[in-house]
Amino acid sequence: MSEYQIQIVVVAGGPAGLAAAVAAAEKGAKVALLEKRAIPGGLANAGMGILAVESHFQKEAGIDLTVEKAVKMMMEYEHYNIDGRLVRRYFGQSADTIEWLEGMGVEFEGAFRYFAQSEATWHIVKTGKKIGPAAARVMNQKLAERAEELGVQIYYECVGKKILKDGSGRISGLLATDKIGRNFVIDCEAVIIACGGASGNPEMIREETGYQFGVDLFNFSSPAITGDGLKMAWEAGADRLPVRIEQAALCGGLDNLPPCVPNVMMQPNLLVNLSGKRIMDEEQMENTTFLGNAATIQEKRLLFSIVDSSIVDHYIKDGLDRTSLVRNDPDVSPFADAVDKALERGNRSVFKADTLKELAEKTGIDAEGLLRTVELYNGYCESSDDEFFKKQELMRPIVKPPFYAATIYPGGYGTVGGIRINENCEVLSNFKPIPGLYAAGSDACNLYNDSYMFLLPGNSMGFAVNSGRIAGMEAAGYVLSRS
Rule CB under 6 A: which residues touch ligand FAD?
Answer: 11-17, 34-37, 42-44, 46-50, 159-160, 194-196, 220, 224-225, 228, 413-414, 441-442, 458-462, 464
Q: Which is nearer to ligand FAD, 178 or 375 (CB)?
A: 178
Q: Closest distance between ligand FAD and the C-beta of residue 39, in Å?
A: 8
Q: Closest distance between ligand FAD and the C-beta of residue 63, in Å?
A: 18
What is the secondary structure of 28-89 as a DSSP string?
T--EEEEESSSSS-GGGGG--EEE-SS-HHHHHTT----HHHHHHHHHHHTTT-S-HHHHHH
Q: Which is nearer to ligand FAD, 82 or 194 (CB)?
A: 194
Q: Is 143 exposed, middle or buried (0-12, 13-18, 19+ CB in 10 A)?
A: buried
Q: Which is nearer to ligand FAD, 119 or 282 (CB)?
A: 119
Cα–chain center distance at 480: 34
From CA 326, how far away is CA 323, in angstroms rounded? 9
Phi and psi torsions of 33, nearest 5°? -130, 130
Q: Is 98 left (phi over 0), alpha (psi -120 to 50) or beta?
A: alpha
From CA 225, how far away is CA 443, in angstroms rounded? 10
Return the number of other C-beta atoms located less than 10 Å from residue 221's C-beta: 22
Q: Which is nearer to ligand FAD, 13 or 258 (CB)?
A: 13
Q: Which is nearer to ligand FAD, 288 or 373 (CB)?
A: 288
Q: Closest distance between ligand FAD and the C-beta of residue 36, in Å?
A: 3
Q: Closest distance between ligand FAD and the C-beta of residue 59, in Å?
A: 21
Q: Closest distance between ligand FAD and the C-beta of residue 170, in Å?
A: 22
Q: Closest distance between ligand FAD and the C-beta of residue 465, in Å?
A: 8
Q: Which is nearer to ligand FAD, 286 or 308 (CB)?
A: 286
Q: Considering only CA atoms, which of 194, 189, 201 is closest in space to residue 229?
A: 194
As beta bridge partners, residue 171 has: 165
Phi and psi torsions of 60, nearest 5°? -60, -35
Q: Which is nearer to ligand FAD, 146 or 390 (CB)?
A: 146
From CA 72, how far away is CA 393, in angstroms rounded? 32
Q: Is 440 exposed, middle or buried (0-12, 13-18, 19+ CB in 10 A)?
A: buried
Q: Closest distance between ligand FAD and the C-beta of residue 246, in Å?
A: 7
Beta strands 4-5 and 183-187, pairing class: parallel
Q: Which is nearer to ligand FAD, 196 or 402 (CB)?
A: 196
Q: Closest distance between ligand FAD and the C-beta of residue 12, in Å?
A: 3
